[in-house]
Amino acid sequence: MFNLFKKNESEEKNNLSLIAIASLLIHSAKIDENFTEKEKKIIKEALIEMGANLNEIDKIIIEAEKKEKDSNQILDFTREIKNIEEKDKKIIIESLWNIIYSDENADMYETNLMRRLSGLLYLDDKVVGDIKEKIRIKRS
């Protein structure tokens, strides 16, 4: 019984992290004022890659949209996720660049957001730049 409680507690903590991650991804998708189905699909794929339960994806997205709407700064999202594993941070950055380039254009607001996020997530600019280039080439 004790292990069951721990598992549920761990799952709940994981879902809170996934909600923060999804909120950040949604925020980046909305920064150009055009949140598309293509971007929603990218967000769902990223959440699945980071271990989200398929049955929980829609619930996570709904909670993340509320959180993103009620927030007025990206610090609310990054504060919760800055200490996750680097491999997951790279998935987030890759997803962010996929969202940004989903309309084949990175505007100044989106690139500024990425510059700020690399610092807030404690990721090296070179790593973020390499991921950006990989996504840009893939999308060309």
Judge contact between 21 and 92, C-beta under 8 A. yes
Structure tokens at 27: 């925020």
What does the pLDDT average to over 108-118? Answer: 91
Instruction: Report which secondary-structure segment, H or E, holds 114.
Output: helix 108-120
List of residues 6+ apart from 113 with CB closer than 8 A: 28, 31, 74, 96
Average pLDDT of the chain to the nearest whole number: 87
Q: Residue 102 carries which side chain, given as an amino acid letter?
A: S
Predicted confidence (pLDDT) at residue 3 exceeds the cutoff of 50: no
In order of start, what are the domains of the chain with their CATH numbers?
A: 2-139 (1.10.3680.10)
pLDDT 10s digits, 47-97: 999 999 999 999 999 999 999 999 988 898 898 898 889 999 999 999 999
Q: Structure tokens of 2?
A: 């004790």
pLDDT at 4: 35
